[in-house]
C-alpha cells in the first residue's frame, strides 16, 4: 500500500470548530485523540474556532521565560499551555489558521518523527502551492516559503492515536507579538520588527484570498487527496463537548497546568 493510500483507508470527518475559550481547544484535542484511538470516533480533521487573543506555549516551556505577562494582561491576551511540544505562539483569531488531525497510529506506522511530520503536512503544502504560494516543508516541523515561515506543527502520540496540529499565519501584527512574547524584548525597535517581518511569510501577503477561502481550499485539497469518498461534515457531540469542558475546569484551564514547570 502506498503512503497516499494510507489516508484513504479511513472515512474522514470534518469539524469546523465553533469559537470556544482558549483552553477548551486544548481539551478538545485530548478528547478527540482518545475517542479516535478507542474507535469511538472516525479519524477527524478539525479546524479550531477562537474568539480571544491568546499566547499558546508548548508543553515543555515556562510562562515566565516566554511571555511578558504584564503586557499580556494589559492587552487582554490569555495564556494557555498545549499538550504538545514546540515553541510559544501569539494568536489573534482572525490572523491565524489552526487545524488538528486525529488518526489511528497505523496511519504513521513505521515512520520516524521527522518523516511523519512531512507526511501529515504534504496536503497543506499542496494546497498552498495550488494557490500560487511557493510553499515547502522544512524539517522538522515547519511550513515555509521563499517569503518566510508560514507556520509550524506539533505532534503527540497517545491513547492509540496520533494528534497532529498546525498553526499557520494568515497575517501578523509583528510589533504587538514582540511586545507580548519575550523574544526580542531587549531590542524592541524598528530594526527588530523589520528583522522579524523578514522571517515570516503570512498567507495574506502571498495571496489576495480571504482567510475563509484559504481554509475552504485546504478542506477541498484534503478531501480530494486524502479521502476515497470525501469528508463527512460533523460536529462535536454533546458528550465530547461536556468532557472537554470538564477537562478545562479540572486541568487545562487551571493555573497549576498553565504555570507548571516541566
- Comparing 79-93, 180-194, 236-250, the range with the smallest average pLDDT is 180-194
Confidence (pLDDT) at 195? 46
Share of the chain above pLDDT 70, in %: 94
Strand order in the sheet with 54-57: 78-81, 54-57, 89-91
- Comparing 83-97, 173-187, 200-214, 231-245, the range with the smallest average pLDDT is 173-187
Q: Give the burial string for 241-252 (b: 16+ CB within 10 Å, else e).
A: bebbbebbeebb
Whose grid coordinates read 485539497?
A: 221
What would the grid cell of residue 85 be? 511540544
Question: Whole-prediction pTM value?
Answer: 0.93
With bands split at pLDDT 50, 70 and 90, how would you rate the model's confidence at 185?
very low
- Angle, vertex CA 27, rays to CA 25 and CA 31, nearest 5: 115
Q: What is the mean pLDDT of residues 60-87?
A: 96
Residue 14 Rama label (left phi>0; alpha psi -120 to 50; beta) = beta
Q: How far apart are the first and last CA of the chain?
A: 40
Amino acid at each position: 500500500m502506498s503512503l497516499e493510500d494510507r489516508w484513504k483507508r479511513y472515512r474522514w470527518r470534518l469539524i469546523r470548530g465553533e469559537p470556544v475559550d482558549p483552553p477548551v481547544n486544548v481539551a478538545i484535542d485530548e478528547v478527540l485523540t482518545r475517542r479516535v484511538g478507542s474507535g469511538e470516533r472516525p479519524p477527524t480533521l478539525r479546524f479550531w474556532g477562537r474568539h480571544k487573543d491568546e499566547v499558546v506555549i508548548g508543553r515543555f516551556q515556562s510562562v515566565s521565560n516566554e511571555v511578558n505577562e504584564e503586557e499580556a494582561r494589559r492587552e487582554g491576551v490569555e495564556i494557555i499551555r498545549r499538550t504538545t511540544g514546540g515553541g510559544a505562539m501569539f494568536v489573534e483569531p482572525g490572523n491565524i489558521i489552526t487545524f488538528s488531525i486525529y488518526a489511528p497510529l497505523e496511519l504513521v506506522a513505521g515512520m520516524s518523527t521527522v518523516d511523519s511530520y512531512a507526511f501529515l503536512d504534504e496536503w497543506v503544502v499542496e494546497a498552498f502551492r495550488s494557490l500560487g504560494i511557493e510553499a515547502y516543508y522544512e524539517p522538522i516541523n515547519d511550513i515555509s516559503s521563499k517569503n518566510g515561515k508560514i507556520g509550524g506543527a506539533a505532534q503527540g502520540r497517545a491513547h492509540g492515536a496520533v494528534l497532529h496540529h498546525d498553526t499557520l499565519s494568515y497575517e501578523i501584527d509583528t510589533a504587538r507579538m514582540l511586545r507580548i512574547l519575550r523574544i526580542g524584548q531587549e531590542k524592541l525597535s524598528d530594526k527588530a520588527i523589520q528583522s522579524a517581518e523578514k522571517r515570516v511569510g503570512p498567507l495574506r501577503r502571498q495571496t489576495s484570498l480571504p482567510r475563509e477561502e484559504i481554509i475552504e481550499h485546504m478542506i477541498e485539497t484534503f478531501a480530494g487527496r486524502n479521502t476515497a469518498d470525501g469528508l463527512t461534515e460533523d460536529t462535536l457531540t454533546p458528550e465530547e463537548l461536556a468532557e472537554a469542558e470538564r477537562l478545562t475546569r479540572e486541568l487545562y484551564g487551571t493555573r497549576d497546568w498553565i504555570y507548571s514547570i516541566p
